[in-house]
Amino acid sequence: MTTGKIKYKMNIPFTKLYQQYLDCKSEIDSAITDTIKSSSFITGPDVTRFEKVMAQYVGAEDCASTGSGTMALLCSLRAAGIGAGDEVLTTPHTFVATTEAIVMTGADPVFVDIDPDTHLINLDLLETKITAKSRAVLFVDIYGQCPDMYRLKEICSRHNLVMIEDAAHSLGTQWCGQPIGSIADLTCFSFNPVKNLGAMGDAGCVTGSQEMMDRVRMYRDHGRTGRYDIVELGYNARIDNMQSNIVLAKLPKLAHWIDRKRAINSYYNAQLQGIVKTVKLDPRIGQGHYVYVIQTPRRDELKQYLEQHGIQTNIHYATTTHLQPAYRKWYTPCPVAELTVNEILSLPCYYSLTEEECKYICNTVRRFFQ
Ligand SMILES: *Cc1c(COP(=O)(O)O)cnc(C)c1O
């Protein structure tokens, strides 16, 4: 490819969901028609099968499906007994659902700032924020990384905190070779269409011990234990069988998609080294890769430049949750997170990007900084 003046312009969307359908078309089509034929749309054997497969996939004792990742978080916090008067340590650098779930239980989120190189919750600061009211840590595997899981587990057990993981970005990630979903007390996944493994609508799940998953199953189904026995205030947060069957139809492709994203990520790292700040990945992480993020004080200009050259980008996330009007009550300064959200930019990194497209993206970024 020539350098200097751009000779042609490509059009690269941020993601290409339709391609996923084309790559699993016959499996997805039969999942849909089979669901319609069985006419079992909510609960039943399909859901049990889904939960078995997902538990096995991440090496967990059990899995409880939910209607979304958000509901996975809320039902997990409830299952862990979190409620009014409790404090939950968390990160402000996340999608709003993480903070929302804590507040929905009646508990107070206590924000811990992030690490400037990984954008994950800063474990050194975490311990300084623990009080007599602290009951749980709800941390986020931002971009598909995870924090030092064994260190965090040790902190949680020393302070008697429930370790709850927002793994909406990290299905397929491993820590020291151990899959995410098998380490924390409760791990919450999302099958939102844009995530690593997407449904064609909303879906989510939680993994953990059978005892905890039974509690999640109770909360997701109106707090019921039997057909007519309502023992807790619950929700309608059940998975839609059409969605769980679609997710299972796509699951065999996930490892390949992640491999491809890993290769793209390495290529970007190599090409952009010394040009722009990239996220520092701990070598103990086998990353499932959700998004590829770069950081520059000239973020807004760069975003506009890339758009002018046909490259669609995104921001994960444009503001911290603790600066959102709805959550101002729980604001506490997190200077690193507050600076970071103004500088981050997510580049296209979907598995079906061609080599030529990756090259074009890197060359366009380089040209901006030249
Ligand atoms: C997507 C996402 C969620 C919410 O998942 P839904 O399935 O859309 O409800 C929660 N946390 C994070 C970090 C997410 O990215």
pLDDT, tens only, 150-205 = 999 999 999 999 999 999 999 999 999 999 999 999 999 999 999 999 999 999 99
206 lines ligand 1 (CB under 6 A): no
pLDDT for the residue numbered 6: 56
Mutate to test the pocket of ligand 1, among 190, 194, 238 (most ligand atoms within 8 A of CB): 190
Q: Report the C-alpha gap between 194 and 259 in whole angstroms.
A: 17
Among residues of the chain, what percentage have pLDDT more than 70? Answer: 98
Q: Is the CB of 97 under 6 A from ligand 1?
A: yes
By most ligand atoms within 8 Å of CB, the mutation choice from 165, 166, 320 for ligand 1 is 166
Mean pLDDT of all residues in 292-319: 98
The predicted model gives 322-343 an average pLDDT of 97
Q: How confident is the model at residue 2 (pLDDT cuts 50, 70, 90)?
A: very low
Cα 166 to ligand 1 centre (Å):
8
Please give the Cα distance from 302 to 324 (Å, whole number): 25
Query: How far is it, in rounded angstroms, from Cα 259 to Cα 255?
Result: 6
Q: Are 110 and 333 within 8 A, CB to CB?
A: no
Cβ atoms < 10 Å from Cβ of 239: 29
How sure is the predictor about 287, in pLDDT bands with cuts at 50, 70 and 90? Answer: confident
For ligand 1, atom 7: residue with the closest CA? 69
What's this model's pTM, rounded to 2 decimal places? 0.97
Q: What is the pLDDT of residues 91-150, one digit of tens each?
A: 999 999 999 999 999 999 999 999 999 999 999 999 999 999 999 999 999 999 999 999
Average confidence score pLDDT of the chain: 96
Can you tell me the mean pLDDT for 307-335?
97
Q: How many angstroms separate the Cα of 92 from the Cα of each of 81, 116, 335, 344?
A: 22, 13, 11, 15
| Alpha carbon separation from 48 to 78, 225, 366 (Å, rounded) | 22, 16, 50
pLDDT of 31: 98
Check residue 226 and give its pLDDT.
Answer: 86
What pLDDT was estimated at residue 5?
A: 56
Question: Is any ligand 1 atom within 6 A of the Cβ of residue 76?
Answer: no
Q: How far is the C-alpha of 261 from the C-alpha of 350, rounded, in Å? A: 6
Q: Is the pLDDT of residue 24 over 90?
A: yes
Peptide linkage before 350 cis (omega within 30 of 0): no
